[in-house]
Amino acid sequence: MTWRTASAGRAAAPREGNFPPASPSWKSAAPERASSVAAESSSSVILVKKGDDPGMKVAVVGAGGLVGRRILSALEESKLPVSALVLTGHSRSVGKKMWFRGEEHPVIKTDVELLRRVDAVLLATPAEVSRQLVPPLGGGPLVVDTSSAFRLDEAVPLVVPEVNGPAVRRHRGVIAGPNCSTIQMVMVLHPLHHKYGLRRVVVTTYQSVSGAGYAAMKQLESEVRVWLASGKPVLVPRGDAFPYPIAFNLIPHIDAFTADGYTKEEMKLVLETRKILGLPDLPITATAVRVPVFVGHSESILVETDLAPDVDEARKVLASSPGIVVWDDPPSKTYPLPVMVEGKSQVFVGRVRRDLSSPRGLLLWVVADNLLRGAAVNAVGILETAYNMGLVQG
């Protein structure tokens, strides 16, 4: 049976050899222009509603970064009523102008007092920055944090709206978004758990360099150019993002190693998945690998279930789940690839098949845009969920 699900609002499967354009490119992923005018100070930003406008005042911190720019795009495409927008960022971004719903907005220096005057703050910041910003914002706006700073804090909900959206009701001012690789995995595990029950999960991730930031993407580009120009392998890394060259190479090492030989990235997959699914004892093991791809994380997942799964039924279960698209037709070489999913907001599943070594095993290939689906769309989705529940308003 051919599986190429594409319901309303979902991405249609490409025909063989007809890949969609790589848009947005990692070099031009958000509407902005550099400003020759001196950067606006926070004191010049006036947060005033227009008449009886019921919209929210929203701030995006880290707006000029890879994730921040995509948060702005996802926010623009959402139905959230935004009456005032504040964009703040790193010194390199300050002074730039970015477009949102037909209007230009300057990126300004982050100012806690200004952030306290908005209704919601979306943080696209490193964990150490989030840890500095969240405490002084306490008692003020709802904060949605995309970093790892508070994910495993028992008092902070860790949310993927399609999986555990109601958890936002428990927030005490901060809601955390999971790691990008965790998001795409739990979106697939959740419907399978409800149908068959989960007994064990084994995952190997193939993660793009954009997960490590701009410097990592530039290092990959530089090493590829040198290799192609010289015709010789690059044996020494041309940058500080990775301990080894990444061009035409694989590195089975993401984040720091722990005492038991796993990396912190692998343990994020284990601990965050258990928290989101509410299965604290679920056996999970992971291997995380960095691959020479600019955007898009891929995962090979083995799921062992309580009930014996049927492959065709499992495809139907996944295809009917929110945010999931099934591209799975091996005879026509239909399966998701990172180059196909860049710029798309869904999680894509293919290569669904039974495990030959276990009657209760199911194997899947799962791919998603780690910057968009794996961070930005989830953050905006959390805010939408909170708004629809009346937990945040202007």
Pair 248, 292: CB distance under 8 Å: yes
Catalytic residue among 105, 171, 193, 297: 297
Which residue's entry shows tokens 């025909």?
15
Active site residue 105: no
Active site residue 297: yes
The structure tokens listed for 243 are: 């301990």
Residue 120 has φ and ψ, to the nearest 5°, of -150, 140
Catalytic residue among 171, 180, 190, 193: 180
CA distance 276 to 268: 12
Pair 264, 258: CB distance under 8 Å: yes
Q: Of how many residues is the chain composed?
A: 394
Tell me which residue of 274, 297, 301, 275 sits closest to 286, measured CA to CA: 301
Pair 130, 150: CB distance under 8 Å: yes
In this structure, how many other beta carbons lie within 10 angstroms of the beta carbon of residue 306? 11
Is residue 334 classed as helix, strand or coil in its secondary structure? strand
Tell me which residue of 235, 234, 131 sits closest to 176, measured CA to CA: 131
Tell me which residue of 67, 77, 64, 80 sits closest to 31, measured CA to CA: 64
Residues with active-site annotation: 180, 297
